[in-house]
Amino acid sequence: MPIISVRDLVVEYGGRRVLNGLSLDIEPGEIMVLLGGSGAGKTTLMRHLLGLERPQSGSVIIKGVDITRCSPAKLNRVRRSMGVSFQDAALFNSLTVEDNVALALREHTSLAPSIIQLDVWLKLAALGLADSGKLYPQELSGGMRKRASVARAGALDPEILVFDEPSAGLDPIVAAGLDELILLMKQAFQMTIVVVTHEMASAFTIADRIAMLYQGTFLAVGTKDEIRASQNPHVRQFLDRVPDNVTPAQVMETYFGKYVRGPEVQR
Amino acid sequence: MANFVENVGKSTLKHLDFIGGLTIATWDTFRALGKTLPTGNRYRWKASIVQMLQIGVEAVPMVALMAMCCGFILAMQGASELRRYGAMSLTIDLVAIGFTREIGPLLTAIAVCGRSGSAFSAEIGTMVVTQEIDTLKVMAFNPIEFVVAPKLLAALITVPCLTGVCNACGIFAGWIFMFFSTHLGLKLYVHDVFESLVLRDLVSGFIKSLAFAVIIVLVGCMEGFHVQGGPEAVGRSTTTAVVRSTFLVIVADMVFTAIFYFTGKH
């Protein structure tokens, strides 16, 4: 039975359809990568998976609860089994890294402060941030902020982890480190991980399955090999990095020719 | 004509939407208020104390200075007219009643609007832009309880206290004027102040200050939650928060003054 099940999800903003009847099943313990270009609807889909927005129609069922129709109390119960690392880390700037990670433990569990402190330290140490607990988010580098955000997302040892563009804005070495970390978390804790990204290298490193989004619909859902072998023109365009809407040479010449032949250049 | 009707309709709906949103937020915040008490969630109580320091304690010098200036101005303006009728001593009544009923709560509310209302809007607006509010939601926290309720509790406690400070400073400034113009002693001045005041004056000022606190916090916070876009939108929301809350404070002041005036007559 899938842990996350999206059924006929339709989302519209101001009459513009952003998600067009999406359906997707994510099995427990797998890494599902939602891949697609800018404006494909990845982030919108992620926000609906997190229950941050309500769709026009369709359902998002997480652990048997339809989060598009359930009560706020039920939604919060589902959310406690989920952890999220947003694109810009979204750490609470008024709290130290340690407090960011400890927040959910302090408020959602009845653990003793000493146990919480130990748990937080273990999580930060596992992510290479053992010495950074007392720092504020603005004192950290981009990679450290991302790792701190992963530590916070994993604070309650959730069953589902969601990553929004984990490698965005990071250098290749740090990005590769994060990919390793995601794989490690899956292996160590058997978490179900959903990753929203447009970075192909990262997607093909970590994914068990990939769902390829294009203009609000899934072009292909399958394993890495199935996606690589896809002959869908849009999938191929994405994988082969073929630019879209190339301006014809003639138009370019008309446009720039005027300038090249103009008095400013001729002078 | 169709355009005019359309514009009026749009504007009406926009304002109704704002009032509706504010009403819902008020209800949600008052429901969450219990969590901010010492008997509720200790983290919210701690947050409330921090807010009390920011809204109340840090505003004392500014409010005191403004009140002193206004008290002095009111005494001078009042005395210049009352002197002509030989009723110089009524300046004390004017300053005491004027401050406790009206100027104290209003001046404090305007100072808190400018200092804290704008800060609430900027803080929450930034949290929206940096996805901290989304993070709170996905961490199964209620942003109203987490962010707004401690501010409301703090304002409900500190704004009436600040109003008290404002009244005291304004009335004291009135004495400074009276001392230099008539050599009136402080003891006699204080005696005359208490002679002129009745409990109703203090209660009406207290009730007004509570209402103003609710308006400032909720308008400031709601403007922050409505931020869409980047840092520019945060700036715009801050301006809107100050303008709207100042306007609503003055409207509420008029409504309360009318209520006290008409109920007092009978």
| B138 interaction partners in chain A (CB closer than 8 Å) | 50-52, 79, 82, 84
When pLDDT is averaged across residues A206-215 and rounded to a whole number, the result is: 92
**Which mean pLDDT values do the consecutive 10-residue runs of chain B (266 residues) have?**
85 88 90 90 92 95 96 94 89 94 96 95 94 93 94 96 96 94 92 92 94 96 90 91 95 95 76
Say what the pLDDT of residue A128 is. Answer: 85
Contact residues, chain B to chain A, C-beta under 8 Å: 41, 43, 130-132, 134-135, 137-142
- In this prediction the ipTM stands at 0.86
- Tens-place pLDDT, residues A94-131: 899 999 999 999 999 999 999 999 999 999 998 888 89
Output the six-digit token pair for A142.
């981009």
- Under the banding of pLDDT at 50, 70 and 90, the label for residue A259 is confident
Task: Domain A4-29+36-81+199-266: give its CATH architecture.
Answer: 3-Layer(aba) Sandwich (3.40)
| B129 interaction partners in chain A (CB closer than 8 Å) | none
Say what the pLDDT of residue B176 is. Answer: 95
Say what the pLDDT of residue A266 is. Answer: 65
The chain A residue lying nearest B141, using CA atoms, is: A76
When pLDDT is averaged across residues A18-47 and rounded to a whole number, the result is: 91
Contacts of A169 (CB under 8 A, 6+ apart): A142
Q: Decide if A80 and B135 are in contact by the 8 Å CB cutoff.
A: no
Best to test chain B binding among A46, A53, A85, A94 (most B CBs inside 10 Å) = A94
Q: Where are the domains of chain A?
A: 4-29+36-81+199-266
Nearest Cβ partner of B132 from A51, A52, A90?
A: A90
| A76 interaction partners in chain B (CB closer than 8 Å) | 140
Q: Where are the domains of chain B?
A: 27-261
Rounded distance, CA A249 to CA A257, Å?
11
Rounded distance, CA A127 to CA A160, Å?
18
- Under the banding of pLDDT at 50, 70 and 90, the label for residue A253 is confident
When pLDDT is averaged across residues A82-102 and rounded to a whole number, the result is: 92
What ranges in chain A are assigned the alpha helix state H? 42-49, 72-79, 97-108, 113-126, 142-153, 172-189, 200-206, 224-228, 233-239, 249-260, 263-266
C-alpha distance from B135 to closest chain A C-alpha (Å): 7
Q: Which residues of A73-106 are buried (b: 16+ CB within 10 A; e: fewer)?
A: eebbebbbbbbbbbbbbbbbeeebbbbbbbbbbb
Q: Strand A31-36 to strand A192-197: parallel, antiparallel, or no bridges (unpaired)? A: parallel
Rounded distance, CA B258 to CA B6, Å?
34
Say what the pLDDT of residue A267 is. Answer: 64
Distance set, CA B109 to CA A266, B55, B56, B97, B225 (Å): 67, 11, 11, 18, 22
Say what the pLDDT of residue B142 is. Answer: 92
- Tens-place pLDDT, residues A40-75: 889 999 999 999 999 999 999 999 999 999 999 999
Query: Is the dihedral angle over the CA atoms A120, A126, A128, A130 positive or is it negative?
Result: positive
- Under the banding of pLDDT at 50, 70 and 90, the label for residue A265 is low
Say what the pLDDT of residue B209 is. Answer: 96
